Amino acid sequence: MNVTTVLDTLAVFLWLLFLGLIVLAIVRASRGRSAKALGIAVLVTGLSAVIISVISAGLVFIQPEERGVVISAIAPKGYREQALQPGLSWIVPFFETVKTYPIYRQTYTMSVSMGEGQVVGDDSILARTADGQEVSIDASVLFAIDPNRVVDIQITWQDRYMNDLVRPLARGVIRDVIAQYGIQDVYSTKRTEMTQKITDILSQKLGDDGLLMSAFVLRNISFSPEYAASVEQKQIAEQLAQQARYVVEQRRQEAEQARQVAQGSADAVVIRAQGEADARLIQADAEAKALEKIAQALAERPELLQYNFILKMSPGVQTIFLPNDVPYLFPLPTGGASTVPSLNELVPTPLPTPEPLPTPTATP
């Protein structure tokens, strides 16, 4: 409760008391009683009521979220050029009045849903796109009165700025911008760009009339039932096509994987065959070298062949008895005892040991 409210209440109370005292004085006078004391009380009360009423009429309290426009009967233009700021202000009683305007943020909503917008019922915006499709737009405009132009609002629009300025201006700008885009741009790729363009144009136009726009909200875009059905069918077709592409890609990957497995198996077979061939070549080369050394040893010592023959016949035989008519396998020494030559005499040097064959390795 501010000071002006207290003064107004006090003034009402004094005026009621003043009227009550007058009635009481009349009643006492009609009964022949003295009403002199009541007359003084009536005079004091009436004078106090007048003073309090004048003071109450001259004091104006402006809330922090408001600005006041003074309508004056004594000002040359009929109003004060400067708006009243928050706090207590004094005006000329009975010659000036104050009209307050809010400077806080306000919202004007246009929606198809009942109860969401300022207008009861369907208040959505019907617009046509560049390719002739009809769309329904739900939108909200967030704005505030410019504190420095409250007087201009009073002169131009008064309390009609919401319905006569914000509403028609927003609907017109939205229709104009929607008409610049195709239907696919409206609901997909260009929606953000379209919203920003509406915000820029609407902000400029509202600013010219003393309103500060803070935001434009594109709440919803609805299409005709026929176009909505066609969009749904298109989305279903795109999903099916995407699924088919996925299946084809999966089959291609599986075929590629099978090809790589087959290629790996073939490479492994080739590598294994190459390894076996290399091993055979190495083994053959080793055997050839061994045979060459054996042949060289036999050429130098032919008796080794007979010695190996004996070893193959019986590795455990150390003495051989032969019939008289069988020639000796070894030549008997001349001019001495008829004994078989010793092993050291036959093979004075050990046979060369063949080099071990290298083990072939297959590269996977």
Is 94 in the same domain as 151?
Answer: no
Half-sphere exposure of 69 (CA within 13 A, CB side): 23
C-beta separation of 145 from 210 below 8 A: yes
Is 75 in the same domain as 155?
Answer: no
> Does residue 230 sit within a domain?
no
Q: Which of 180, 197, 223 delimits the end of a domain?
A: 223
Q: At what angle do helices 303-313 and 225-300 cross, to 10 degrees?
A: 110
C-beta separation of 213 from 143 below 8 A: yes
Contacts for 358 with CB less than 8 Å, ≥ 6 apart: 282, 286
Longest dimension (CA), the chain: 204
Give the whole-angstrom CA distance, residue 364 versus residue 270. Answer: 9
Is 119 in the same domain as 213?
Answer: yes
Is 96 in the same domain as 110?
Answer: no
Give the whole-angstrom CA distance, residue 110 versus residue 170. Answer: 10
> Does residue 132 sit within a domain?
yes
**Which DSSP string corresponds to 252-274?**
HHHHHHHHHHHHHHHHHHHHHHH
> Does residue 256 sit within a domain?
no
pLDDT computed for residue 333 by the predictor: 46
Question: Long-range contacts for 186-193 (Cβ within 8 Å, ≥24 apart)?
Answer: 186/129, 186/135, 186/221, 187/221, 187/223, 187/231, 191/218, 191/221
What letter would DSSP give residue 181? S
Contacts for 55 with CB less than 8 Å, ≥ 6 apart: 7, 93
What domain count does the chain have?
Answer: 2
What is the token pair recorded at 221?
Answer: 């875009």
Give the whole-angstrom CA distance, residue 171 versus residue 279. Answer: 91
| Domain assignment of residue 119, given as a range | 106-223
Q: Which amino acid is at 78?
A: G
Is 210 in the same domain as 136?
Answer: yes
Is 180 in the same domain as 115?
Answer: yes
> Does residue 214 sit within a domain?
yes
Residue 198: CATH number of its domain:
3.30.479.30
Closest to 106 (Cα-Cα) out of 145, 147, 143? 143
What does the pLDDT profile of the chain (364 residues) look like in tens digits? 577 788 888 889 989 988 888 888 888 777 777 667 777 888 888 899 899 888 888 889 999 999 999 999 888 889 999 999 999 899 998 899 999 999 999 999 998 887 777 787 788 899 988 988 888 999 999 999 999 999 999 999 999 999 999 999 999 999 999 999 988 888 777 888 999 999 999 999 999 999 999 999 998 888 877 766 666 677 677 777 887 888 888 888 888 888 888 888 888 888 888 888 888 888 888 888 888 877 777 777 777 767 776 666 655 555 555 555 655 554 544 444 444 444 444 444 444 544 554 554 444 3
Q: Which of 102, 133, 159 delimits the end of a domain?
A: 102
Contacts for 155 with CB less than 8 Å, ≥ 6 apart: 79
Q: Which of 61, 78, 102 delimits the end of a domain?
A: 102
Strand (E) positions, 113-204?
Answer: 125-128, 134-145
Is 96 in the same domain as 114?
Answer: no
What letter would DSSP give residue 127? E
Give the whole-angstrom CA distance, residue 250 versus residue 257. Answer: 10
> Does residue 149 sit within a domain?
yes
> Does residue 97 sit within a domain?
yes
What is the token pair recorded at 232?
Answer: 């749904």
